[in-house]
Amino acid sequence: MKLFSLIWGNEAQNLFSVISTPKLNVNNKPAPDLYNIALQDLKVRPENVVAIEDSKIGLKSAKAASISTILAPSEFTRGDNFSDADLIVENLLDPRVKKFLGLI
Total number of domains in the chain: 1
Which stretches does DSSP call E strand in the chain?
50-53, 68-71, 87-88
Q: How many CB atoms lie within 10 A of CB 11?
A: 9
CB 50 within 8 A of CB 98: no
Which residues make beta-bridge pairs with 87? 70
CA distance 71 to 85: 6
Q: What CATH number is given to the structural domain containing 25?
A: 3.40.50.1000
Residues 45-55: tens digit of each pLDDT: 999 999 999 99
Question: With bands split at pLDDT 50, 70 and 90, how would you rate the model's confidence at 23?
Answer: confident
Q: What residues make up the domain containing 44?
A: 2-100
Find the helix or strand (DSSP H, E) in which 103 lies: none
pTM: 0.82
